[in-house]
A = this chain, B = another copy of it.
Amino acid sequence: MLGQECCPGLLTAPLDEEQATELSKVFKALADPVRLRLLSMIASRAGGEVCVCDLTPAFDLAQPTISHHLKHLRQAGLIDCERRGTWVYYWLLPEMTDRLAGILTRPAGQPLAQTAQKPAGAAS
């Protein structure tokens, strides 16, 4: 899934339909404020893991809603979890965020546009 080849790029070559569909699933997981906050809370945790019981009270949302969002992030391959006794702990899977960062990074020195200014007119 999602680019067997290292990093096709997104900015270097047109995505085919299948690549775009796979990639859009991951971005969909990031396309929600609650999930972004959950992800950042998990990723920035010192020990590398967070108990759900520490995440839930940070939101004005019902517990099933948080659980639903965590499932979404997990299915996108961004986090994983493990039950330990009564509690469940989540941690980041940096492979996926690394891959996304790579996909959004343009190759250095390759001026795809002229530094984001509007290109020189071609239809003079």
Contacts and interface: CB of A to CB of B under 8 A. Distances in A.
Copies per complex of this chain: 2
Given A84-B123, A94-B112, A37 B11 contact: no
A52 interface: no
Interface in A17-59: 17, 20-21, 23-24, 27-28, 30-37, 39-41, 43-45, 47-49
Given A21-B33, A33-B21, A36-B24, A106 B112 contact: no
Given A91-B119, A113-B94, A37 B13 contact: no
A84 to B, nearest CB: 5
Interface residues of A, number: 62
A16 B12 CA distance: 33
